[in-house]
Structure 1
Amino acid sequence: MPINCEVHFDSNPAKVVYAGQVLSGTCRLTSTEHLNVRSIFIRIQGTAHAQWQEGTGEKSKTFTGDEDYLNERTYFVNRSTFYAGGETRLLAGSYTYNFQCMLPPGLPTSFEGEFGYIRYFTRVVIDIPLLPDQTFEQLFTVIKAVNLNADPALQAPVIAEKSKTFSPVLLCCFTSSPPMTILARIPVGGYTPGQVINLEINVKNESDQPASKFTIKLIKQVIYYVCENSTRQKHETIPIFEMETRGCDVGKEEDYRVNLEVPSIPPSNFSTSNIIKVKYSIRIIGSVPCFHINPIIDLPITIGTYPIQDITPTATGYPHPTDMAINSVILPPSVSQVFDQNNQLPYSAVPSAPSAPFPIPQDEPPSYMEAMQSATIADSNNLTPKYPMYNQRTSYSNGN
């Protein structure tokens, strides 16, 4: 069928929109022949899907979960006669139709993983008598705004400590050496992509085992469910990136300062989707000789879309330079600064169109970059989600 269809979003070449905004655009149809149609409409849909297998061979079983978030339909031709079987004749040529849809503020952020996804797309359907429907899809990214300032706990330092003792390799010995103690600290618990996490590590090695190195990882943990509150789950642990530092010899004490830039990754999500949940942590692993278990320490962090605006120095003995405060932050296009007590964007806080101006003067708007390590289980029509990147530091910038 000689039909071409293009969907364009208004002033939005990146195809990124925030939950609570109005998604608007145009649909341009071009046909080289005259065409009889029963109806032409566009559907704006959002859905989540999870799928994985357990067991092998004949005992293998597939588990799936699905959840719908959005299903809006706008008719361009023949809504009133669709069910009555009426037809309209379109002459060869081009036709342009407008559409818009208010996105609910609670939509979860777009996500692509090895065992599931959260996707949003437009689907233009041309219902032609006696022939299969002609469909044209266009994916776009939805971002659920996560205001890190809404949770005061995220503005406090995150500190974790672990002491590890090592038993002798010889089984006839039952005494252990003094411990290797690892103390890790980051200045705040919430970050946005593009920001730098300033990690401080203190290692006091009173044990009789040296640590040859320390490996630092940013870990993304994804949990897939078949339905809400299901006990059937699939866990996925993904190292976003890792780096190594020098080790710590027996009887030594070492301090490390490491800068970790957060790449383009989806925000933490443990509330808006019932079948896909995402959380993050910084993991520190000490490498000790074989036959001993490596010490591991985790610092939980929250990834958001709206950076912490100010960090108050605390009396912890750690340095807090003058450039720590973030006094001017940027909101995504047409997202209001007003958040409710549940960290949601109410309808009243959302402008009527994506082209609305920023609510305050903005020095440096975020850029949007494709997700890092975004896996997919779908077809070649997949669109890699894009997330906002901020170029703002949260503490000192010199590390080892």
Structure 2
Amino acid sequence: MAKDVRVLEIFFSEASATFSAGGEVSGGVVIVTNSDIKAKAIKLNIHGLARCHWDEKRAYTKGSASTLSHKDAEIYMDETIILCRPDGHLPSGKHTHRFKVRLPPFAPASFDGQFGRVQYWAKVVIERPFGKDNIEAVKAFNVKGILDLNADPDAKKAAENAGETTPGLFCFKSGRISASLSVDRRSTAPGLSVPFTAIIKNESGARVKSARIILSQQVIYKADKQTRRHSTPLKGVSRNKEIGAGTESWVGEITDIPPVVPSHLGAGCKFIDVRYILTLIVVPKGPGKELEVPLEIVIGTVPVRRPSSVGPQLTVRGAIARASAGHLDVNDLREAVFRADKPKN
């Protein structure tokens, strides 16, 4: 920073520096100068982009690199506003400039992952005359992606998946273990729960040692037509009960979903896709492979609303209209009049 500029800072109106997609990013810029400085303009740039990057090792061949770099990027926002145009110079002292910038309604949520991230930041620039270096300051902010589950017709639907395995080794395998995992509603939101039903059917000679349900965040990164996956466990419940031959039902729930980004980062991102997987893991006793039954659920920011148990109420005018149409119902009219006469609190 130039010696004549003592302070150049960006501040946001929200202490958490978090704003919703489609809303406004608001705040201000504070400049404190020790003396007059030459300046053409004070500009604010708002940026938002997603970028992915990872290196892939490959067999060495003469004349080529031993690692192949994959990267891609997508810009969501690149907006510049003029905060001030000084008359050739900026007087000494303190200067404060407020700003408001509208975020795109379909901006994906801020995200920082293993092989990629979605970032948003503001940059203030004191633009100086030719021969003088511009003076800049940068500050990041977060965007909360929006995913209203009420707008998704599939959010209220049930979901189910099933799988099976044969415990034992090679020719010593006998019978099978099958399992299914189902949810009454395939969507939820942070702070809520995910009720589930797991059914384990043991038709093998082995016993089932235990079972568990894991909720994990799975992220798929894309760059140069290549993909990388990274999975992070979030929460889980276990059932440490041996199961012999027969069928066992397990009804439970994953409680208090943590404050994670919404599925698909809300509006979706070309290079980073975030999904949530509920997985039933059945562990046979002795040698053999664990059985995994995955089921994708959707985590949104606005949960599904329960339908109102109160039906539409008929007004006096409505009751009279029905009577005029030949659909007179004395009970309808009596109840409408009763509500109209009921004193207001």
For the superposition of Structure 1 and Structure 2, which TM-score range results when normalised by the shorter chain? 0.7 to 0.9
Deviations 1:109-143 (A, max 9, x none): 11110111111111111223444332212211112
Structure 2: runs of 5+ lacking an equivalent: 311-345
Correspondence 1:230-379 to 2 at 5 A: 231-260=225-254, 261-269=256-264, 272-310=268-306
Partner of 2:91: 91
Following TM superposition, by how much is the alpha carbon of 1:326 offset from its aligned partner in structure 2, in angstroms? Answer: 11
Q: Distance in 1 between matches of 2:22 and 2:213?
A: 37
Q: Distance in 2 between matches of 1:146 and 1:195?
A: 15
Following TM superposition, by how much is the alpha carbon of 1:60 offset from its aligned partner in structure 2, in angstroms? Answer: 0.9
1:63 maps onto 2:57 in alignment: no
Deviations 1:248-301 (A, max 9, x none): 322254333333221111111176321111111101111224541111101110
Structure 1: runs of 5+ lacking an equivalent: 80-86, 312-324, 328-400
Following TM superposition, by how much is the alpha carbon of 1:193 offset from its aligned partner in structure 2, in angstroms? Answer: 1.1
The one-letter code sitting in structure 2 at the alignment partner of 1:6 is: E
Which residue of the other structure, out of 217, 222, 225, is the alignment partner of 1:220?
A: 217
Q: Distance in 1 between matches of 2:102 and 2:229?
A: 33
> How much identity, in percent, do the aligned residues show?
23
Partner of 1:176: 174
After TM superposition, the score normalised by the length of structure 2 is 0.79
Whether contact under 8 Å (2:47, 2:120) holds in the other structure is yes
Partner of 2:329: none
Whether contact under 8 Å (2:166, 2:288) holds in the other structure is no
Following TM superposition, by how much is the alpha carbon of 1:103 offset from its aligned partner in structure 2, in angstroms? Answer: 1.6
Q: Distance in 2 between matches of 1:237 and 1:149?
A: 27
Q: Distance in 1 between matches of 2:252 and 2:159?
A: 15
Deviations 1:9-55 (A, max 9, x none): 33x22222222122222212122333222321100111111100111
Q: Distance in 2 between matches of 1:47 and 1:77?
A: 26
Which residue of the other structure, out of 8, 12, 15, is the alignment partner of 1:5?
A: 8
The one-letter code sitting in structure 2 at the alignment partner of 1:27 is: V
Which residue of the other structure, out of 207, 232, 249, is the alignment partner of 1:210?
A: 207
The structure with the largest helix share of the pair is 2
Following TM superposition, by how much is the alpha carbon of 1:162 offset from its aligned partner in structure 2, in angstroms? Answer: 2.4
The one-letter code sitting in structure 2 at the alignment partner of 1:262 is: I
Correspondence 1:25-36 to 2 at 5 A: 25-36=27-38
The one-letter code sitting in structure 2 at the alignment partner of 1:147 is: D
SS of 2:154's partner is: helix
Partner of 2:20: 18
SS of 2:32's partner is: strand
After TM superposition, the score normalised by the length of structure 1 is 0.69
Q: Distance in 2 between matches of 1:134 and 1:200?
A: 60
Structure 1 window deviating more from structure 2 (239-248 vs 260-269): it is: 239-248
SS of 2:258's partner is: coil
Q: Distance in 2 between matches of 1:128 and 1:213?
A: 69
Whether contact under 8 Å (1:308, 1:326) holds in the other structure is no
Q: Distance in 2 between matches of 1:160 and 1:224?
A: 25
Q: Distance in 2 between matches of 1:46 and 1:222?
A: 20
Structure 1 window deviating more from structure 2 (69-78 vs 284-293): it is: 284-293
Using a 3 Å threshold, how does the CA distance of structure 1 residues 326 and 235 change in structure 2: closer, same or farther? farther
Partner of 2:139: 138
Structure 1 window deviating more from structure 2 (274-283 vs 138-147): it is: 138-147
Calculate the aligned-residue CA RMSD, in Å.
2.5
Q: Distance in 2 between matches of 1:133 and 1:43?
A: 14
Q: Distance in 1 between matches of 2:230 and 2:156?
A: 28
Q: Distance in 1 between matches of 2:170 and 2:145?
A: 55
Following TM superposition, by how much is the alpha carbon of 1:170 offset from its aligned partner in structure 2, in angstroms? Answer: 5.6
Using a 3 Å threshold, how does the CA distance of structure 1 residues 132 and 326 change in structure 2: closer, same or farther? farther
Correspondence 1:119-138 to 2 at 5 A: 119-129=119-129, 130-138=131-139
Which protein is bigger by CA-based radius of gyration?
A: 2
Whether contact under 8 Å (1:248, 1:254) holds in the other structure is no
Whether contact under 8 Å (2:198, 2:280) holds in the other structure is no
Partner of 1:201: 198
Q: Distance in 2 between matches of 1:287 and 1:4?
A: 61
What is the total number of aligned residue pairs between the two structures?
A: 299
Q: Distance in 2 between matches of 1:125 and 1:145?
A: 31
Following TM superposition, by how much is the alpha carbon of 1:247 offset from its aligned partner in structure 2, in angstroms? Answer: 3.3
SS of 1:149's partner is: helix
Using a 3 Å threshold, how does the CA distance of structure 1 residues 296 and 28 change in structure 2: closer, same or farther? same
Whether contact under 8 Å (2:174, 2:205) holds in the other structure is no
The one-letter code sitting in structure 2 at the alignment partner of 1:296 is: E
The one-letter code sitting in structure 2 at the alignment partner of 1:292 is: G
1:190 maps onto 2:197 in alignment: no
Deviations 1:315-360 (A, max 9, x none): xxxxxxxxxx899xxxxxxxxxxxxxxxxxxxxxxxxxxxxxxxxx
Q: Distance in 2 between matches of 1:259 and 1:187?
A: 11
